[in-house]
């Protein structure tokens, strides 16, 4: 069983919550979300807000804060092989109320099908499911991801 060690990122100004499934080995190593250099998450967010792609953890946090975005994962701990969502077993949910009781979250987004399914199962609520920005999701071009993720701006 691997435990999620990265704390949620949010403040009282956060208006949307983006949840992944579980941090990749590279994200766990770097200590922040979407840490694999080939993951397109930061490139996509920067693209929809027409900003420079943040690279350091400090730049990423400032970017999220500026755009009122909270970031976390659905799963608190699980059995997983590598970074593959399809290998996740024995998932234990995070306590989403840590964020929702401290910020006026207007919409929850999930990155990838599994994150969306597990969020619904664990919270009883729906999320807007966005395509995974993982490099493994090669069916989604950067242009398609930008189009899909642009819905975020409607809730800010």
Does 39 participate in catalysis according to the annotation? yes
Q: Point out the catalytic residue in the list 39, 90, 94, 102.
A: 39
* Angstrom distance (rounded) from CA 102 to CA 71: 14
Q: How far lies 139's CA from each of 48, 61, 107, 117, in Å?
A: 20, 29, 26, 20
40: its two tokens: 């397109």
Instruction: For residue 120, give every residue at least 6 positions away whose Cβ sits within 8 Å of its Cβ, in sequence order, or none.
Output: 126, 127
Round to whole Å and give the CA distance between 108 and 111.
10
Q: Which residues are catalytic?
A: 39
């Amino acid at each position: 069983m691997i435990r999620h060690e990265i704390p949620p990122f949010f403040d009282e100004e956060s208006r949307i919550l983006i949840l992944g499934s579980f941090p990749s080995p590279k994200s766990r190593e770097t200590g922040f979300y979407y840490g694999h250099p080939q993951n397109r998450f930061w490139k996509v967010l920067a693209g929809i807000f027409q900003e420079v792609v943040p690279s350091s953890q400090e730049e990423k946090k400032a970017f999220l804060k500026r755009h009122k975005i909270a970031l976390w994962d659905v799963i608190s701990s699980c059995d997983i092989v590598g970074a593959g969502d399809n290998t996740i077993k024995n998932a234990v949910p995070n306590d989403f109320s840590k964020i929702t009781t401290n910020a006026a979250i207007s919409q929850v987004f999930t990155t990838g099908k599994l994150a969306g399914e597990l969020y619904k199962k664990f919270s009883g609520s729906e999320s807007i499911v966005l395509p995974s920005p993982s490099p493994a999701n090669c069916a989604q071009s950067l242009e398609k991801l930008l189009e899909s993720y642009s819905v975020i701006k409607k809730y800010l």
